[in-house]
Chains A and B, each alone.
Chain A
Amino acid sequence: MLDLLGNGIVTVLQLKYMVPLLIGTFAGVIGGALPGFTITLTVIVILPFTYGLDPLAGLAAMTGVYVGGSTGGLITACLIGIPGTPSAIATTFDGFPMARNGQPGRAIWLGVWASVWGGLLGALFLVFLTGPLAAIALEFGPWEYFALFVLAMAMVAGLAEASLLKGLISTAIGLLITVIGTDPIASVPRFTFGSDFIGGGFPFLPVLIGIFAFAQIMTDIEKLKGPQARAPGIANATFERFSHLKVNWEIFKQPFLLLWSTIVGLIIGILPAIGGSASSVMAYDQAKKFSKTPELFGKGHPEGIIASEASNNANVSGSLMTIMAFGIPGDAVTAVMLGAMTIHGIQSGPLFVSQNPGLAYGIYGAYILAHPLMLVMCWAFMPIMIRITNVRLAVLAPVIMVLCIMGAYALNNTMQSVYVLLIFGVVGYGLVKAGFPLAPLILGLILGDQIEINLIRAIMTDGNLWLFLTRPISGGLLAAAALSVALAIWQHLRHQKRTAGEEDPDF
């Protein structure tokens, strides 16, 4: 295994992989640092550039975006108190107060170093646990896969903050989009109404780009005339003198904090589509509970920054683990990666590592190398990156739009994909305005075909529907799905009581 990992790292060190990884990491840090410009949007922007590349080069670029973006969010979180990405939300709690207390350099670099160590610790789990997880997944039959996908969707729908019902409807819309076109077993056309345009169904990536990118950009445009558009600038931020050695000592003098935050991030990453924001908040909460000085949290305590940042980078390794072992995206970023893998004819899932060891260990290598690269880039280009984060939306939005449209067009060099993009752009924005969460829809969109195929395979193998409940793993997973929905209902009732009268969030 270590030989393969060494080969993977050496492969990625070649220029043809290193350049995409470098560009991806740089773009990720900037995309992560720009408030309102999420990691998912950055990976969507990078996507069209990866079509013509070697699969590993394309995936290396996306891995770079993912790692860079998870760290980039802390820059604005510390300097202006607005997280660049949702995964940096808990970093604002202590990063911003520390920066306001005259230590912006210490705040940012504590976060950057914690991200690096958390991410690299997460890499250990990624390398050594993906195989055993895939071995478990190999034991799965169609009943277990069906149950696993149902569990994934139940968990994601349950996370919709405003309403569980809307989360479930959003999931159903995602599933419904996948049934349009020909059915996967007998190629019977469904809901096509004789149209050639939708005869083959809707291609996944244009739908995803349309729904996600339009919803994101248009929601940002809405705020252009509001007070949110005039966030304080950070272009002239200056850092105090500080020691990197001392910053690292602050991290390593509490190894349990680093390790536990990493494990929390990893576990949340493995669970489908929960995402970095939950992991950073949960790790922050845990750090506060275990701390000897909990009263200092929220006032610029280094432990808060370390917990949040170590956790959100470890979350990336957890998400990669899920996609590689089970073929289920851990979040929207890995959903785009899954789409990119499909374009290159690569099937992720339990056989992925054993059938594509070069590619799998290349991804591990890219993930590991992205951390020191990100560190060097933050050290060398921080002033430039801070300047870029001040670019106005009026300048950024049209360029992003062109790249999104290119992402759809370059998929098969036809305008049809671009029309699909526009249609689903309108749908995505409409859903956001109606208060529907997009994460369950995206998961439904990704898993829809697989759910149907596994359901039919299970019934074709044995017509006894009770097998879904009586087979131990399948029954356990379905019970967990039911429990997840019940828990979500209980949490929503509690949440509604607490937040009655508050305005709904955009996403």
Chain B
Amino acid sequence: MRLGRDGIAGLIGLAVSLFLLPFAFGLPRLPIVPIGPGFYPALVLTFMAAMCALLVLQDVVAQRRSKPAASDTPAGPKRAYELVAGAFAVVAVYIFLMPLLGFRIATALFVAAFQLVLERPASPRQWALLAALAVGTSALTHLVFERYLSVLLPRGTWTGW
């Protein structure tokens, strides 16, 4: 049995719903509320499980009906998934480092790294622009949020800054 993108997504949804359903049924019943705190989540999860099962079924039927793709089928538009993975990694590292390095340093490093991941500067002017944007974004957001909007931004436990 072949499964497409929808079938796999449906299976994941079905697994999550079936995993959570026993917890919903196991929630305590309260004398003051006639339907208890588990009623509504159980309703949502049952609905989700049913829809996911239908999606899997629909995908299985579609996969059976569909013919194998011909080798000369034109490819779709090129997608740069490696850039997306890099971008997610840079964001995750930024969020992890922010409490350690502090907002100002972490943000400057993040903006520089994010630009580098997306587009490598080709000239000294572009390198200067990259550095200016990194420092400028960090300084400006710090100024606006701390000075004018009273948001206390994270200080670094390693740097104290």
What residues make up the interface of A, taking CB atoms closer than 8 Å to B?
48-49, 51-53, 163, 165-166, 168-169, 172-173, 175-176, 179, 183, 185-186, 188, 190-191, 217-218, 221-228, 392-395, 397-399, 401-403, 405-406, 409-410, 413, 415, 418-419, 422, 425-426, 429, 434-436, 451-452, 455-456, 459-460, 463, 503
Contact = CB atoms under 8 A, between A and B. Distances in A.
B27 A190 contact: yes
B145 A169 contact: no
Given A169-B52, A191-B41, A422-B92, A222 B98 contact: no
Interface in B1-57: 5-6, 8-10, 13, 20, 23-24, 27-28, 30, 32-35, 37-38, 40-41, 44-45, 47-48, 51-52, 54-55
Contacts of A397: 87, 114, 118
Given A399-B137, A401-B91, A452-B40, A435 B83 contact: no
Nearest to A227: B77
A406 B141 contact: yes
Interface residues of B, number: 65
B9 to A, nearest CB: 4
Contacts of B48: 169, 172-173, 176
B60 interface: no
A459 B99 contact: no
B114 to A, nearest CB: 4
A455 B20 CA distance: 21
Contact of B151 (A51, A228, A455): A51
A436 B52 CA distance: 12
Contacts of B47: 168, 172
A447 B152 CA distance: 31
16 contacts: A49-B149, A163-B55, A173-B13, A175-B44, A179-B44, A218-B88, A225-B78, A225-B83, A394-B115, A398-B110, A402-B137, A415-B99, A415-B154, A422-B92, A455-B35, A463-B34
B51 A226 contact: no
Contact of A413 (B45, B81, B151): B151
Contacts of B79: 222-223, 226
Nearest to B113: A398
Interface in B74-110: 76-81, 83-84, 87-88, 91-92, 94-95, 98-99, 107, 110
B150 to A, nearest CB: 5
A394 B41 contact: no
Contacts of A228: 77
Nearest to A222: B79
Contacts of A49: 144, 149
B118 A221 contact: yes
B6 A188 contact: no
Contacts, number: 175
Given A188-B30, A415-B99, A166 B55 contact: yes
The prevalent SS among residues of B at the interface is helix
B151 A410 contact: yes
B141 A191 contact: no
A419 B141 contact: no
Interface-centre pick from B28, B51, B58, B110 (highest chain A CB count, 10 A): B51
Interface of B: 5-6, 8-10, 13, 20, 23-24, 27-28, 30, 32-35, 37-38, 40-41, 44-45, 47-48, 51-52, 54-55, 58, 76-81, 83-84, 87-88, 91-92, 94-95, 98-99, 107, 110-111, 114-115, 118-119, 129, 133, 137, 141, 144-145, 148-154
A435 B152 CA distance: 39
A51 B149 contact: yes
Given A165-B54, A394-B118, A422-B91, A186 B78 contact: no
B13 A191 contact: no
Which 6 residue pairs of A and B lie closest in terms of their CB atoms, listed nearest first?
Answer: A52-B149, A398-B114, A394-B119, A183-B37, A172-B48, A394-B118
A458 to B, nearest CB: 10
Contact of B9 (A168, A176, A434): A434
Given A398-B115, A435-B6, A172 B95 contact: no
B161 to A, nearest CB: 17
A399 B132 CA distance: 12
A437 to B, nearest CB: 13
B51 A172 contact: yes
B30 A395 contact: no
A44 to B, nearest CB: 15
A229 to B, nearest CB: 9
Nearest to A404: B91
Contacts of B20: 176, 191
B151 A190 contact: no
Contacts of B76: 503
Nearest to B44: A175
A218 B151 contact: no
